[in-house]
Amino acid sequence: MEDGSDERGEELETLQSIYPELIIDPARPYNATLDLLVAPTKPLPVTFTPEQDVQRLGYLPPLHIDFELPAEYPNEGPPHIKITTSPPWLPEDITRRIADEAQALWDEYGGGMILFAYVSSLQEKAEACFGLEELTLSTSLRKELLEYSVRMKRELFDKETFDCEVCLEPKKGSVCYRMERCSHVFCVACLQDYYNNCITEGAVNNVKCMSTECGGSKRKDRLVSPKELLQIPIAREQVERYVNIKRKKKMESDPNIIFCPRQWCQGAMRSPKYPKIVDVSQIDDSDSEAEEEAAQPSSDASTGPEKRLVGVRGMDRLAVCEDCTLAFCVVCLSSWHGDFVRCEPRDANQLTEEDQASLNFIMKNTSPCAYCSVPCQKSFGCNHMTCAQCKTHFCYLCGAWLDPGRPYQHFNDPKNKGCFQRLMDGAEGDMANGDVQFGGRRGAEQLADFWEEEAMRIQMQINDEDTR
């Protein structure tokens, strides 16, 4: 009996050296408990009823294993095993089955010590979530299970060490962040520096994962959602600026959006397509993805931006400014004049001097995107441009659309006489005062300016001859 007692004690001590979390009961030296981590290889879909809310959990509350080694163990009888979970998320039939496996394993071994083999088999089954492909539980368990999964994920992450992909320094997980979509890891300091800089400068289309591996996949090359920015954490004021700039860019590129005619306001018309942002923490990943997909040019012309019909009638002309609540007509841009009043589009001569000067500068010094018509001005580099708003590839010289797969073919085709072998014309940028001949709308403006100056020169020459 004493030899059997020594064998039981030695086995528990050996198991404790392998699993330090094993607790031996001081009052009953042949009884012990072990909490075994349940981390499925693939997150387990859990449906909480009656709401039918489905959550994919990467961590579930541990198996609580109670070991009792009777006097006849290990030679004459199996150990007594009891398995529970708290809260009780694992079905009872499964807990009974895996507890009974200790008896089957002891029979297979023909007697002897089996605790390590048994615990190892439980670990393998836990990784496969005991054969469960999905699980249905009561909503009363939802909060506790979700909080546990998030807490365990964070605790295990904090204990690891990672090489930040930006500063290349080894950092503890407690000062790092794992991107939700692609799982790339960066230190929080690098993420905050980069994202704050992008948002401050208005380059919101660059608020993406910084790993070079993400650039080649259309699915991964997404903007970071506002909810994830708050988790990094980025200051709430910066996240609100990020969301508002994205929204403003979308509205400015939408030909169906009209802006308030009041010069001191210039707010956009109310539109269900672009609702006012109330709480950035409520904007989830799917909302962010839908915004980005809307920004991409479509290959199907029928799904492109809807053009406003000529001669808008009746109440379709009514718009309300989302900032100052002014009701105005989208045709004549006057205060709302009623349903039955005929109106005409505002004449260009009604533009203020400041608006006209701004329009003249844009016409003469920028090239419009071939898809969304956003004005673009080059600071340096070649004439293959990518629109910062919709990512369309176009030629800076003539404004033509370029094939994203072969953008430089446009500059190598002799048929394109205006752009042939002119990829690097004006490489120092527009502000270098280079004499670059453009095509398209901008070229027409250049030609009009040339003939206006030429006419003035000829007129001055005639006047000089008349005075002699």
Give one DSSP letter per residue of 19-80, joined into a string: -TT-EE-SSSTTEEEEEEEE--SSPEEEEEETTTEEEEES-EEEEEEEEE--TTTTTTSPPE
Q: What are phi and psi of 132, to 5 degrees?
A: -75, 130
DSSP structure class, residue 160: S
Q: What are phi and psi of 242, to 5 degrees?
A: -60, -50
CA distance 289 to 171: 30
Band of pLDDT at residue 399, cut at 50, 70 and 90: confident
pLDDT for 238 beyond 50? yes
Q: Which residues, in sequence order, are bridge partners of residue 335? A: 328
CA distance 65 to 122: 10
CA distance 140 to 49: 9
pLDDT of residue 221: 62
pLDDT of residue 348: 59
Considering the chain, what percentage of its residues have pLDDT values greater than 90? 31
pLDDT of residue 306: 38
pLDDT of residue 350: 61
pLDDT of residue 311: 46
First to last CA, the chain: 136
pLDDT of residue 82: 93
pLDDT of residue 303: 40
CB–CB of 7/74 below 8 Å? Answer: yes
pLDDT of residue 147: 92
- Region 9-38 average pLDDT: 92
- Region 325-352 average pLDDT: 76
pLDDT for 457 beyond 80? yes
Q: Which residues contact 26 (CB under 8 A, 6 or more apart)?
A: none
- Token reading at 346: 């505002």
Residue 443: closest CA among 412, 417, 404, 408: 417
pLDDT for 331 beyond 90? no
Prediction pTM value: 0.57
- Region 141-153 average pLDDT: 91
Question: Which residue is listed with tokens 């030429």?
Answer: 454
pLDDT of residue 304: 39
Band of pLDDT at residue 351, cut at 50, 70 and 90: low
CB–CB of 216/203 below 8 Å? Answer: no
Let me know the angle formed at the C-alpha of 298 by 386 and 184, rounded to the nearest 5 degrees.
Answer: 65
CA distance 136 to 4: 44
Give the pairing of strands 161-163 and 135-138.
unpaired
DSSP string, 279-310: -GGG--HHHHHHHHHHHSPPSSGGGSPPPPPS
Q: What is the mean pLDDT of the chain?
A: 83
For helices 2-18 and 115-127, give the axis angle rounded to 10 degrees.
Answer: 30
Q: Which range is most confident: 106-115, 279-288, 434-443?
A: 106-115
Band of pLDDT at residue 336, cut at 50, 70 and 90: confident
Q: Is 171 helix (H, G, I), strand (E, B) or coil?
A: strand
pLDDT, tens digit, for every residue of 263-318? Answer: 788 888 888 888 888 777 767 654 444 444 444 444 443 443 333 444 445 567 88
In sign, the C-alpha dihedral spanning 400, 406, 408, 413 is negative
pLDDT for 220 beyond 70? no
pLDDT of residue 432: 60
State the alpha helices, DSSP H only, in 347-434.
Answer: 353-365, 409-412
Phi-psi region of 323 (alpha: psi -120 to 50; beta: other; left: phi over 0): alpha
For the chain, what is the radius of gyration of the CA atoms?
Answer: 35
Extract long-range pairs of 207-215: CB within 8 Å, 24+ residues apart: 207/242, 209/179, 209/181, 209/182, 209/184, 210/165, 210/166, 210/184, 210/186, 211/165, 211/179, 211/182, 211/184, 213/182, 213/184, 214/182, 214/184
Considering the chain, what percentage of its residues have pLDDT values greater than 70? 87
pLDDT, tens digit, for every residue of 38-89? Answer: 999 888 999 998 888 899 999 999 999 999 999 899 888 999 999 999 999 9
pLDDT for 128 beyond 80? yes
